[in-house]
Structure 1
């Protein structure tokens, strides 16, 4: 099911993200911890970009900066030419943990963003649309403890999409799911991206996941993160895991990450 849009302008609700010479550090008492080192990325409107790199290298910090939750120590992040200085419903961050409100039903969790913005009455229909889109109509009145991990993450994504974000920032959204559920969620995320047109920036440790979903894969070094490689993935969707070109790209990316090609 595709969401209903009132015009072509509504459908093209994505943005250009510019990350320009961004460095970042944290002050830890008597020492400084550098996290990002002169990172520059240009993400086109509607593009799906995946970020790969060692655990703890700074990928999640970059998402927080793009969401406006923190300001960079140096450099500039902007959306469509406007500096990012604070959080905005146009830019939504989805975490590895679903972080649902346990006292709210699925329906009310999805509606919480609209409620917080004071537009729930006018946009109540969006909740029903998103329930159908993520295939959870039958669980609308269930509570988070009654959901599987995959279902809870669907709710988290629906809660993000109900605000019609132009940029979806995904921080290992399927990292804690079992392998079969993860495969299903990858397909569903791809379908949601195709249907709704948002710009996507995905942090993942899964090379195969990056190659199956993204238009472009960016590889970071260990902390402080620097870009060491960029790979354009030109295969059309749906992509097959055993496609020879993707297998070659996987081998190349693993080598960039310092992992043996026979893994």
Structure 2
């Protein structure tokens, strides 16, 4: 198993850890395709400790998002076991919230009503309306509570998606390239906002990205997946830098080179 090795700087400034302990034991996964069976993951062993931010890095199509779906409980692994705080993950649960690349907001619902969706579905909205206001405040959208999705920028829409996740006080935030469709300047700003939310709330985070700089800027650890199917863990990089991080830090440049080497792209550096 790949164990989490936290540097003294990791999680610096975070809230008391309330995040989930995620254990992935010997997970392999296959899909049925017209030509037979396609294996996408091979014997993945990984642990995410409470309050840790882990990034899965690899090229498109290598199996990163599949692993996230298994952790989220959206489908079962073909073989192996995934647990949260010692209990087998068998189905989706409000303690694990997925934030996708597309905010998937309902256009006919206001920002407030979109954020309230999870509480409404669980039948607790009337008793916990204040949590919606609090979540909007945490992402800086209080003044846009009555706005509709078509009135928002891409970055604002993704902040609504984050608020919709945070209103449930998740133990684990599962992030499937949530900033992938944003322009570069908005993406940089949102990366900092995401770190701030994670530090303040203390949840565990598991991020999928194919952006090397994003993985290194956000995570305590970066897990590099192989670029050939079925995906295996090719390397683990401990990002031994405090927060807030500075993109020009020479250590980040070293780690970037190392990550690109494991991806077979270091000749471009």
TM range (shorter): over 0.9
In the other structure, the counterpart of 1:256 is 262
In the other structure, the counterpart of 1:126 is 131
Structure 1 pair 135–126 and aligned structure 2 pair: CA distance change class (3 A) = same
Aligned residues: 254
Alignment match of 2:23 (pick from 14, 18, 21): 18
Structure 2 counterparts to residues 162-177 of structure 1, below 5 A: 162-177=167-182
TM-fit CA distance, 1:99:
0.5
TM-fit CA distance, 1:261:
4.5
Structure 1 pair 99–161 and aligned structure 2 pair: CA distance change class (3 A) = same
Alignment match of 2:166 (pick from 161, 166, 170): 161
After superposition, the CA RMSD in angstroms is 1.2
TM-fit CA distance, 1:148:
0.5
Alignment match of 2:251 (pick from 238, 241, 245): 245
Task: State how far apart, in whole Å, the 2-side matches of 1:22 and 1:148 are.
Answer: 39
* Aligned residues of 2:26 and 2:44 also touching (Cα < 8 A): yes
Alignment match of 1:40 (pick from 45, 49, 61): 45
Q: With the length of structure 1 as denominator, give the TM-score of the two structures.
A: 0.94
1:83 aligns with 2:85: no
In the other structure, the counterpart of 1:69 is 74
TM-fit CA distance, 1:12:
4.1
Task: State how far apart, in whole Å, the 1-side matches of 2:185 and 2:34 are.
Answer: 43
Deviation string for 1:120-167 (max 9, x for gaps)?
A: 011110111111111111111111111110000000010001001000
TM-fit CA distance, 1:11:
5.7
Q: With the length of structure 2 as denominator, give the TM-score of the two structures.
A: 0.92
Task: State how far apart, in whole Å, the 1-side matches of 2:264 and 2:128 are.
Answer: 48
Alignment match of 1:207 (pick from 205, 212, 222): 212
- Residue 89 of structure 1 aligns to a residue in which SS? coil
Deviation string for 1:211-237 (max 9, x for gaps)?
A: 111000000012211000001111000
* Aligned residues of 1:48 and 1:213 also touching (Cα < 8 A): yes
Structure 2 counterparts to residues 174-213 of structure 1, below 5 A: 174-213=179-218
In the other structure, the counterpart of 1:152 is 157
* Aligned residues of 1:251 and 1:261 also touching (Cα < 8 A): no
Deviation string for 1:49-87 (max 9, x for gaps)?
A: 000011001000100000100000000000011000000
- Residue 163 of structure 1 aligns to a residue in which SS? coil
Instruction: Point out where structure 1 has 5 or more consecutive residues left out of the alignment.
Output: 1-9
Task: State how far apart, in whole Å, the 2-side matches of 1:162 and 1:231 are.
Answer: 31
TM-fit CA distance, 1:28:
1.2
In the other structure, the counterpart of 2:55 is 50
